[in-house]
């Protein structure tokens, strides 16, 4: 099922019947994709904003390139941007967008709070992120988080698109194994449970993948020579959440700060391996 967003500021075009089907898919599989929720002009503007941010240099606590030159790790040259909504108005507008709010409230069945934003460049040759569960890091209690993963360009298996393991959203958090540092920038790896398997989710610019915080998911390396895999990610929680990790700073969808007590064992999404030398 495809629902088309209006591609500009204003109320989203989201049919109630389609929203019900999205919720059914979300409850059954742990994820759903809303096709074309954002317009090409919006994803292009978002990419332009982050290109300008990178050109301007490091922003401590948000974007800190560590290396450049021949043999440098691509993810050190183009690291992910953490909490960009705190330093960029366009990123903040996307995180708090009314179209996302509409879908999220249907999926969660209550008012939602925004917990964090991230932007991934994932340049050619970059490692992926091993299969994992987001709520392992956010530690939302009670319940879980929901991610809204916006594709900013064509995303497929070649450039390291997401893979999900349907059905794992019904399971508890797993104790992860250690990932292979040759293919994953993050340490945690959750093998698919017996009888379940990871399936790819190919996306076009403007598509948004919504998924449950317990859903096992991840990505392979970007195997292309000339294609990035840029994406903007927001994490959200229901208003009934009582605790969350201290790294996350919750906001209402109108932008007001909501302070939640800190849960234990939380941290940034993906514990990164120590920096590697040239390869």
CB distance 207 to 67 below 8 Å: no
The per-residue pLDDT for 2 is: 37
pLDDT of residue 66: 85
The HSE-up count of residue 58 (CA atoms within 13 Å, CB side) is: 8
Who contacts 198 (Cβ-Cβ below 8 Å, separation ≥6)? 131, 163, 164, 165, 192, 216, 217, 218
- The pLDDT value recorded for residue 265 is 84
Domains in the chain, ordered, with CATH?
16-63+79-252 (2.60.120.620)
Rounded CA-CA distance 223/125 in Å is: 6
CA–CA gap between residue 217 and residue 67 (Å, rounded)? 28
Of 147, 129, 149, the closest CA to residue 138 belongs to 147
- Which of 124, 129, 92 lies closest to 254, judged by CA? 92
- Secondary structure element (H or E) that encloses residue 243, with its range: none
Under 8 Å between Cβ of 5 and 206: yes
- Give bridge partners of residue 221 from the DSSP assignment: none
pLDDT at 125: 97
Q: Which two tokens stand for residue 108?
A: 């969660």
Structure tokens at 278: 């040239």
How far apart (Å, rounded) are the C-alpha atoms in residues 109 and 240?
10
Instruction: Report the alpha-carbon distance of residue 227 to residue 223 in Å, rounded.
Output: 9
Global confidence as pTM: 0.92
For residue 223, give the 3-state DSSP assignment. coil
Mean pLDDT by 10 residues, the chain (279 residues): 38 79 97 97 97 95 87 93 98 98 98 98 98 97 97 98 98 96 96 97 98 98 98 98 96 97 82 54
pLDDT for position 13? 62
Q: Tell me, what's the pLDDT at 262?
A: 96
- Strands 31-34 and 162-165 turn out to be unpaired
Could you give the CA distance from residue 149 to residue 162 in angstroms, rounded to a whole number?
Answer: 10
pLDDT at 69: 78
Tell me what pLDDT residue 47 has: 97
DSSP alpha helices (H): ranges in 57-159?
74-77, 89-95, 98-108, 135-138
Side-chain-side CA neighbours of residue 196 (13 Å)? 19
Separation between Cα atoms, residue 101 and residue 25, nearest integer Å: 18
């Amino acid at each position: 099922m495809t629902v088309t967003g209006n591609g500009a500021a204003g109320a989203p075009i989201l049919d109630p019947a389609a929203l019900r089907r999205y919720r059914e898919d979300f409850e059954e599989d742990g994820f759903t994709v809303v096709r074309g929720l954002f317009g090409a002009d919006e994803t292009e503007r978002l990419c332009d904003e982050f290109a300008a941010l990178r050109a301007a240099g490091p922003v401590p606590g948000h974007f800190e390139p560590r290396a450049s030159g021949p043999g440098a790790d691509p993810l050190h040259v183009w690291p992910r941007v953490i909490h960009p909504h705190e330093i960029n108005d366009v990123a903040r507008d996307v995180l708090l967008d009314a179209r996302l709010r509409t879908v999220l409230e249907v999926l969660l069945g209550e008012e939602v709070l925004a917990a964090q934003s991230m932007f991934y460049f994932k340049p050619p040759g970059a490692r992926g992120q091993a299969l994992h569960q987001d709520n392992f890091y956010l530690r939302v209690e009670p319940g879980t988080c929901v991610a809204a993963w916006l594709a900013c360009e064509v995303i497929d298996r070649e450039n390291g698109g997401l893979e999900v393991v349907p059905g794992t959203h019904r399971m508890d958090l797993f104790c992860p194994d250690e990932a292979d540092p040759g293919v994953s920038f993050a340490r945690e790896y959750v093998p698919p449970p017996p009888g379940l398997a990871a399936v790819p989710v190919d996306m076009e610019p403007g598509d948004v993948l919504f998924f449950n915080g317990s859903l096992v998911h991840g990505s392979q390396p970007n195997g292309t020579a000339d294609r990035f895999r840029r994406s903007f990610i927001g994490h959200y929680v229901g208003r009934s959440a009582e605790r969350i990790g201290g790294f996350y700073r919750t906001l209402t969808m109108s932008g007001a700060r909501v302070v939640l007590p800190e849960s234990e064992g939380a941290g940034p999404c993906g514990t990164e391996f120590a920096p590697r030398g040239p390869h």
